[in-house]
Amino acid sequence: MRIRLYCFLLLLTCIVVSSCFRHSGDTDGLPVGKRIQLTTVEDLYQFLTYDDNRYPLVSLHRGGPTSGYPENALETFAYNASLQPVIVECDVRLSKDSALVLMHDNTLNRTTTGRGSVSERTLAELKKLRLVDNNKKITPYKIPTLDEALAWGKGKVIFTLDIKNEVPYESVINVIRKQRAESSVVIITYSAGQAGKVHSLAGDLMISASVKNLDDLARLNEKDIPDNKLLAFVGTREADPQLTKVLHDHGIMCILGTQGNLDRQAAKKGFQLYASFIERGADILSTDQPMEAGRALNFYVKKRGITSKFVQ
């Protein structure tokens, strides 16, 4: 009887462990288990400052959803981070009782078992819902709070936080301070005005700013934001080489949004296209295909012998 019970428990454990990281994609070629280990905000500045030996990275658009893993879920972040070093792009919204939660849409309809506006539900009500993956399959996973995400991610990943319009920057900064997560966070902004406001509220935090031309960069310079505290989102098509050179000369790394058209091009022409984007000046790829992009970047890193003391 004891032997049967032991075998049953062993089988149950195996089922639970395997279900925690189920997936539908081929993970061969990915650097399993590597983390981005940063302990101070100075580490973050150093790691995300451009130089000729910079470590190219995948950024998980909406957290990197895949079959069985919904967008903006801790379990999805953890699955992706178990395969390769990642930046986690996620979205921050406000509940009815002013809790900061991770959710892209302003309604619950598409990605949860609920209906209606996120802002009309309390955190307790939101926590009763389950997240739905891109195949409309209900998962066991719940809507996470920003607190929970930052607490999990320290010493593992970098977060880029897309803060929705109704969310005060001050509230997000307070959570970052509470979690002592300054070394793990970059705040996404869409204008020089937004970037300047974030910098005035928290001068130590890194900022991702939209830079699609030299005029955009000049407007940021007018806000007195130091170059080593900036990432440049250059858009969803490759930047002009002159702009890339100026940004790199300033030590500013470039984020290229491949989600959408460029991801489709890579699927059609071959995933080594992602490495070509890096060769032509992109430093971080924000993608809906993190495994495919990750394999290409891992090959690129190995071929050139690129290392970083922060990627372990």
Residue in the block written with tokens 């989102």: 233
Could you tell me the two tokens for 38?
């940063």
Over residues 263-291, the mean pLDDT reads 97
Least confident of 22-36, 56-70, 152-166: 22-36
CATH number at residue 92: 3.20.20.190
Identity of the amino acid at 216:
D
Contact yes or no for 296/58 (Cβ under 8 A)? no
Distance of CA 67 to the CA centre of its chain: 18
- In this predicted structure, the answer to whether residue 258 has a pLDDT above a threshold of 70 is yes
- Residue 239 belongs to some domain of the structure: yes
- Residue 6 belongs to some domain of the structure: no
The better pLDDT of the pair 61, 6 is held by 61
pTM to 2 decimals? 0.91
Over residues 155-161, the mean pLDDT reads 97
CA distances 161 to 86, 90, 103, Å, are: 14, 5, 11
Distance of CA 100 to the CA centre of its chain: 17
- Residue 17 belongs to some domain of the structure: no
Longest CA span, the chain:
76
* pLDDT given at position 239: 97
What's the rounded Cα separation, in Å, for the pair 124 and 113? 15
* pLDDT given at position 19: 42
* pLDDT given at position 28: 79
Structural domain total, the chain: 1
Could you tell me the two tokens for 121?
């539900």
pLDDT tens-digit series, residues 188-231 = 999 999 999 999 999 999 999 999 999 999 999 999 999 999 99
Give the chain as a DSSP string. Answer: -HHHHHHHHHHHHHHHHHHHT--SS--TTS-TT--B---SHHHHHHHTB--TT---EEEEGGG--BTTB-TT-HHHHHHHHTTS-EEEEEEEEE-TTS-EEE-SSSBSTTTBS--SBGGGS-HHHHTTS-BB-TTS-B-S--PPBHHHHHHHHTTT-EEEEEE-TTS-HHHHHHHHHHHT-GGGEEEE-SSHHHHHHHHHH-TTSEEEEE-SSHHHHHHHHHTT--GGGEEEE--SSPPPHHHHHHHHHTTBEEEEE-TTHHHHHHHHH-TTHHHHHHHTT--EEEES-HHHHHHHHHHHHHHHT---TTB-
Contact yes or no for 276/293 (Cβ under 8 A)? no
* pLDDT given at position 25: 56
* pLDDT given at position 134: 95
Identity of the amino acid at 192:
A
- Residue 52 belongs to some domain of the structure: yes
- Residue 246 belongs to some domain of the structure: yes
Which residues form the domain of 71? Answer: 30-106+145-304
* pLDDT given at position 240: 97
- In this predicted structure, the answer to whether residue 10 has a pLDDT above a threshold of 80 is no
* pLDDT given at position 31: 79
- In this predicted structure, the answer to whether residue 26 has a pLDDT above a threshold of 90 is no
- Residue 168 belongs to some domain of the structure: yes
What's the rounded Cα separation, in Å, for the pair 223 and 231? 15
Over residues 223-240, the mean pLDDT reads 97
* pLDDT given at position 11: 39
pLDDT tens-digit series, residues 65-101 = 999 999 999 999 999 999 999 999 999 999 999 999 9
* pLDDT given at position 58: 98
pLDDT tens-digit series, residues 97-151 = 999 999 999 999 999 999 999 999 999 999 999 999 999 999 999 999 999 999 9
What rounded mean pLDDT belongs to the chain?
Answer: 92
- In this predicted structure, the answer to whether residue 27 has a pLDDT above a threshold of 50 is yes
Over residues 22-32, the mean pLDDT reads 68
- Residue 198 belongs to some domain of the structure: yes
The better pLDDT of the pair 4, 81 is held by 81
Over residues 40-63, the mean pLDDT reads 97
**Backbone φ and ψ of 230, nearest 5°:** -125, 140
- Residue 310 belongs to some domain of the structure: no
